[in-house]
Chain A
Amino acid sequence: MIPTIGHVAVLVGLALSAYAIVVFVLAGRSGDPRLTMSGRRAVIGSFVVAGIGCVAMIISLLTHDFSVLYVAENNATTTPPFISAISLWAALEGSILFWAFLATGWAALVLWRHRDRHRLLMPWVGTTLASVNLFFFAVMTWPGNPFVRTDPVALQGLGPNALLQNHPFMALHPPLLYLGYTGLAVPFAFGMAALVTRRLDEEWLRIVRRWTIVPWIFLTLGIVAGAWWSYEVLGWGGYWAWDPVENAALLPWLTATAFLHSAMVAERRGGLRIWTNALVIATFVLTLVGTFLTRSGIVASVHSFTQSAIGPWFLGGIVVAMVVSVTLLVWRLPELSGGGRPSSIVSRESAFLLNNVLFLAITFAVLFGTLLPLIVTVTSGDTISVGAPWYNAVTAPMFVALLFLMGVGPALPWGAASWTTMRQRFTVPLGAATLVAAAALLLGLRGAGPVGILALAVFVGVIMLDEVRRGAAARSRGRDEDPPTATWRLVTRNRRRYGGYAVHLGVLVMAVGVAVSSGLAVDRTVTLSPGESAEIGAYRITHDRLVVEPLPDDARVIETRAEVTYTGPQSGTLGTALRDYPNSPTSIATPAVRTSLGEDLYVTLLASDAASQAVSLHLFVNPLVVWIWIGGAIVGIAAVFAIWPERQARRVTADEPMRTAAPASVEGA
């Protein structure tokens, strides 16, 4: 009964999306707002039925309804309710259902929010979004039906993938990521609408920027959450392996970030319309390509869903999206070109454009690395690997250049920069960076990576602080406010700019965390009998005992756990285990991580011997790892601050005296 409701819901969604497309196209051509309204209602309806579909699947999972194939493959009677519920997105068909729910949600939100505005654009925005939704409903109707039944009905299911049960982040990472992916269809839709209607003015840029940054925030948090999850779960002590699925999330993030920056130049100076539009299109196409790579089985990945009939459909979708968007862009090309060229090579505009070149170079490198094994196999039959060593060596210099630009860009004025200005702005930061680097070396910090990034972070950080100080000083003088008030008001009344600086601050924190944790981590493998100890870094690890028992909330899982005492900068006990899940041939490692602000103590159980109770442990001390996650959180919070609507400026009252001092270096907003 419930699964049938779910299936019918999907079919209704398919029909509503098809109807919406037709109605929106008619609305676009005729301008009749009633048609637009009808289309909007259809899209909202498709969101409702997608929701019904998700609820139906969740209920089927919670009630362990093994007549549904998806439930039989991803659930068992012993699966805890929380895990059952989040298994909605655990495997291929369910994840597409969840995706459709979020995509229709964004579409409904956009269409509803702009229901009284942009009458010319919205029908085409609706057409695009409804087409994307139609695609996902179609995939769920034909090759990837989540509500397919089985007969006869098994008495017990296979249970969820072992790796997905281990950590509560399974509830956080996919939804955040999917909200990012699905949300990026919205700027794309505005891009398509603008190309069709030829309305590519500043208004368009403003709308698209707003509708990009929200999914961007989700995508950023989703990527960071994914890195945190793999660090806590996979047991190899790292957080980023340049696996295709990780790259798939990074690619649209890179182009979206590039877009956000070039949009600032375009808003200020006009022009760059081809470039910004191309970036918006590329971002959306990359979300499809990324999803395709991990769902088609054509590249091997930790995250590969098994190869299925869905692959060719996704390829078809990508081709259609590319053909339509590139055709539209090429069609309007003659009307879009011209304008926007900065008048000076050294200026903030140029720094932003250089930033774009770097972001796109990194995007190319990551895409190239991901596809190269496939290219080589197809052209020569040989098999090669492209792994972390290549990606790190190629992208690290580009990221470092971006970090440097992150400092230099905001310090440069719009328009031309003189040598005097540059000397003024950069001398102190450079000096501070060099001093800090020298001090770090004296204190024993080694390695070009950690020291270099630290110096760079100081350089950029000092520039940002100086920017705030100068802005506050100008305001303080101009309005007779004391410095703290001036600073507060400056920051809260220019949220876009200072929120942006705070985002950069978060990025700096992350960069330092990454550089130090990868450059200065230590690890060793030891075998200990009960009572024996080993040392790593400043810690002493003592193996107490080996415990083998079933999990309290899922008796089918047997856990072999080494209980260990540790002393040092942190002290306490921990248990690191290997879990045997019935549906997995190999044991799943459950590392134990003890986090402090200075470093993480990370212990993985490699092997154990039941007879002697000896255990083989892989020990890590990873310095400053927690700052990567803190930095990610700063980026998220700062970005929300940056877009949080400001109160309207106060009206001048007759009682307040006018100030006449005009500071020499007032910058525009």
Chain B
Amino acid sequence: MVGLGLLVAVAGLVLVVTLSTGAAPSDARRTADLAAELRCPDCQGLSVADSPTTSAREIRRQIGELVAGGASDDEVRAHFVARYGEWIRLAPSGATPWLIPFGVLLTGLLALGAWLLRRPGGPPTTAPPTDAQRRAVRDEAEALDA
């Protein structure tokens, strides 16, 4: 019991430390994060943060300017969406694109759970042993003998 309690305490401590975020992010941090969200216009799928092109450099500079000028994250995004459309954002906006894959996962988990929990009408215990089962028994027996 003591062991378990200690474990929980240490685990909790670890969790708290790893997840703790500092004070409000700096301008540089915000610029870098926003740059990672926006797509480089003349690259193939790279973010503005990762891209070496001239346009990426200029967009990073503009983001920095906007952030220093007091714009919020949403305002910075809107600035570029007004020029390029939603395409410039590397992650689609709105909740639906995010919910769908997790919805599928949830459905799968529920289906698995339902299948596992179904009242035992399943036959495995009365079926004759399969080849695999025979082999498994034989291997176990061999493992016991020399």
Question: Which among B87, B91, B115, B127 has the highest number of chain A CB atoms within 10 Å?
Answer: B91
**A358 contacts B117, CB within 8 Å?**
no
- Proximity bits, A510-543, B CB within 8 Å = 1, else 0: 0000000000000000000000000000000000
Question: Which among A203, A339, A387, A606 has the highest number of chain B CB atoms within 10 Å?
Answer: A387
User: Which secondary structure dominates where chain B touches chain A?
Assistant: helix
User: In this assembly, does B101 line the interface, its C-beta being within 8 Å of a C-beta of chain A?
Assistant: yes
**B11 contacts A434, CB within 8 Å?**
yes
Selected from B86, B101, B132, B142, the residue in CB contact (under 8 A) with A384 is B86
With A372-B97, A386-B92 known as contacts, the answer to whether A241 contacts B46 (CB < 8 A) is yes
Shortest CB distance B60–A (Å): 9
Task: Give the residue name and chain of the B residue nearest to A662 (CB).
Answer: B144
Interface residues of B in 106-139 (CB under 8 A from A): 108-109, 111-113, 115-118, 120, 122-125, 127, 130-133, 135-137, 139
- Proximity bits, B71-99, A CB within 8 Å = 1, else 0: 00000000000000111111110000110
**B112 contacts A357, CB within 8 Å?**
yes
**B90 contacts A390, CB within 8 Å?**
yes
Determine the chain A residues whose CB is within 8 A of the CB of B111 once the complex forms.
357
Selected from B11, B44, B100, B143, the residue in CB contact (under 8 A) with A368 is B100
**A394 contacts B102, CB within 8 Å?**
yes
User: In this assembly, does A141 line the interface, its C-beta being within 8 Å of a C-beta of chain B?
Assistant: no
**B90 contacts A451, CB within 8 Å?**
no
Interface residues of A in 422-479 (CB under 8 A from B): 427, 430-431, 434-435, 437-438, 441, 446-448, 451-452, 455, 474-475, 478-479
Question: Which among A237, A434, A478 has the highest number of chain B CB atoms within 10 Å?
Answer: A434
Question: Which among A271, A341, A353 has the highest number of chain B CB atoms within 10 Å?
Answer: A341
Size category, A interface: 35 or more
Interface stretch of the complex, out of A46-54, A77-85, A262-270: A262-270
**A478 contacts B143, CB within 8 Å?**
yes
**B90 contacts A339, CB within 8 Å?**
no
Determine the chain A residues whose CB is within 8 A of the CB of B68 once the complex forms.
none
With A202-B130, A339-B127, A385-B88 known as contacts, the answer to whether A243 contacts B50 (CB < 8 A) is no
Determine the chain A residues whose CB is within 8 A of the CB of B23 once the complex forms.
none
Interface stretch of the complex, out of A278-286, A319-327, A653-661: A653-661
User: In this assembly, does A302 line the interface, its C-beta being within 8 Å of a C-beta of chain B?
Assistant: yes
**B124 contacts A339, CB within 8 Å?**
yes
Bound-state Cα–Cα, A452 to B11, Å: 11
**A235 contacts B101, CB within 8 Å?**
no
Shortest CB distance B74–A (Å): 16
**A394 contacts B104, CB within 8 Å?**
no
**B136 contacts A268, CB within 8 Å?**
yes
Shortest CB distance B132–A (Å): 5
Determine the chain A residues whose CB is within 8 A of the CB of B39 once the complex forms.
385, 387
**B130 contacts A668, CB within 8 Å?**
no
Determine the chain A residues whose CB is within 8 A of the CB of B146 once the complex forms.
479, 652, 656-659
Task: Give the residue name and chain of the A residue nearest to B122 (CB).
Answer: A341
Bound-state Cα–Cα, A668 to B134, Å: 11
With A388-B90, A666-B144 known as contacts, the answer to whether A270 contacts B124 (CB < 8 A) is yes
With A202-B131, A341-B124, A437-B14 known as contacts, the answer to whether A389 contacts B19 (CB < 8 A) is no
Bound-state Cα–Cα, A342 to B120, Å: 10
Shortest CB distance A216–B (Å): 21
**A270 contacts B140, CB within 8 Å?**
no
User: In this assembly, does B26 line the interface, its C-beta being within 8 Å of a C-beta of chain A?
Assistant: no
User: In this assembly, does A571 line the interface, its C-beta being within 8 Å of a C-beta of chain B?
Assistant: no
Question: Which among A383, A385, A475, A589 has the highest number of chain B CB atoms within 10 Å?
Answer: A385
Determine the chain A residues whose CB is within 8 A of the CB of B88 once the complex forms.
385
Determine the chain A residues whose CB is within 8 A of the CB of B47 once the complex forms.
387-389
User: In this assembly, does A309 line the interface, its C-beta being within 8 Å of a C-beta of chain B?
Assistant: no
User: In this assembly, does B36 line the interface, its C-beta being within 8 Å of a C-beta of chain A?
Assistant: yes
Shortest CB distance B11–A (Å): 5
**A202 contacts B132, CB within 8 Å?**
yes
**A389 contacts B131, CB within 8 Å?**
no
Bound-state Cα–Cα, A390 to B146, Å: 56
With A241-B45, A441-B18 known as contacts, the answer to whether A270 contacts B52 (CB < 8 A) is no
Bound-state Cα–Cα, A269 to B36, Å: 48
Shortest CB distance A307–B (Å): 15
Selected from B89, B101, B112, B142, the residue in CB contact (under 8 A) with A354 is B112
Shortest CB distance A482–B (Å): 16
Bound-state Cα–Cα, A22 to B92, Å: 49
User: In this assembly, does A242 line the interface, its C-beta being within 8 Å of a C-beta of chain B?
Assistant: yes
21 of the cross-chain contacts (CB-CB < 8 Å) are A202-B132, A301-B45, A338-B123, A340-B122, A354-B109, A357-B108, A372-B97, A376-B92, A385-B86, A385-B87, A385-B90, A385-B91, A385-B92, A386-B97, A394-B98, A394-B102, A437-B18, A438-B10, A618-B52, A649-B142, A658-B145
Binding site for B on A (CB under 8 A): 201-203, 235-238, 241-243, 267-271, 300-302, 338-343, 345, 350, 353-354, 357-358, 360-361, 364-365, 368-369, 372, 376, 382-390, 393-394, 398, 427, 430-431, 434-435, 437-438, 441, 446-448, 451-452, 455, 474-475, 478-479, 589, 604, 606, 618, 649, 652, 656-659, 662, 666, 668-669
Q: Which 10 A-B pairs have the closest CB atoms?
A: A387-B90, A365-B101, A361-B105, A357-B108, A390-B91, A668-B136, A389-B91, A383-B87, A302-B44, A669-B139
